[in-house]
Amino acid sequence: MLRNMFRWGRNKGITQCTCEPEWQGLYTEIDGQRQLALPRDEMATIVGYLDLTAHCAGCGAEYPKPWGLASK
């Protein structure tokens, strides 16, 4: 049920990744610092709670699928 509280897309246009191959690396920014992000089967709760977005490290496109923070 909790995972259904958060929805992807937020009604804005999704930009496709222009890298070859696509989505070579993902990052998010927390407090002005880049953090490594990784694709996941379902969105991490903290990502939805903080309303974070992940971006392609190559072209900067917003990642439209579930993801989470990489462990340190």
Residue 7 pLDDT exceeds 80: no
Answer yes or no: is 16 within a domain.
no
Answer yes or no: is 14 within a domain.
no
Total domain count, the chain = 1
Mean pLDDT value across residues 10-25: 79
**Could you tell me which residues come within 8 angstroms of residue 68 by beta carbon, excluding any fewer than 6 positions away?**
37, 38, 40, 43, 44, 46, 47
Tokens of 71: 């462990």
Torsion sign (Cα): 47, 42, 62, 68: positive
- What range does the domain containing 37 cover? 26-64
List the Cα angle 62/37/54 in 5-degree steps: 15
Indicate the range of 4-13, 25-34, 37-46, 56-65 predicted with least confidence.
Answer: 4-13
For residue 66, what pLDDT is reported?
92
